[in-house]
Homo-oligomer: A and B are copies of this chain.
């Protein structure tokens, strides 16, 4: 008893393990059938349990999905940080490729974060914190770039509405570039992942590279 390693009791460790196994099964199911068809019963069957047992671990279906969304956000933020940390200093191109790789690795995971929202849904506090984290990575990378062309009227608007950037020292032009980076790459990725380029024979990767070049040239 000299030093209670009281961090986790056996019960807590078991509980955490079952929770992650449930989430793993859920991810498998989502990848093949989409989040809207996620079935707690099916997960329980796969795990050799009875349906109601899962309610010991998640309050309800929405609670499980919320946990998955939270993990997806966390995973996205980690992927973005990892991508920028690879080189020396913030690197918008590396960030872009990290984002794209993460999206392509599991399209339904991307859609859980950026896809169709259910009308009533409000993001919980912790995911908005992660959103800020990701936005900061983008702002860092944009601030490290040489300043772009002439200031637009939207730049002026952003100078007055930069509360969302926290106290980040990036100039309005960098704020604008970060937002464009986000919206433009999202537009491309979301259409690609949703299969809207299916009939067209151009290479989405080439267009992604072209958009990124344009963003960097700014």
A: which residues have CB within 8 A of B?
A: 31-37, 108, 111, 114-120, 123, 128, 131, 152-154, 157-158, 161, 163-164, 176, 179-180, 182-188, 190-191, 194-196, 198-203, 206-207, 209-211, 213-214
Enumerate chain B residues within 8 angstroms of A179, measured Cβ to Cβ: 202, 207
Enumerate chain B residues within 8 angstroms of A199, measured Cβ to Cβ: 128, 131, 164
Contact A201 B164 (CB under 8 A): yes
Cβ contact of A201, chosen from B108, B117, B161, B194, cutoff 8 A: B161
How many copies the complex holds: the figure is 2
Contact B213 A152 (CB under 8 A): yes
Contact A194 B117 (CB under 8 A): yes
Enumerate chain B residues within 8 angstroms of A37, measured Cβ to Cβ: 118
Of chain B, the residue at the smallest CB distance from A128 is B199
Complex Cα spacing A115 to B115, Å: 6
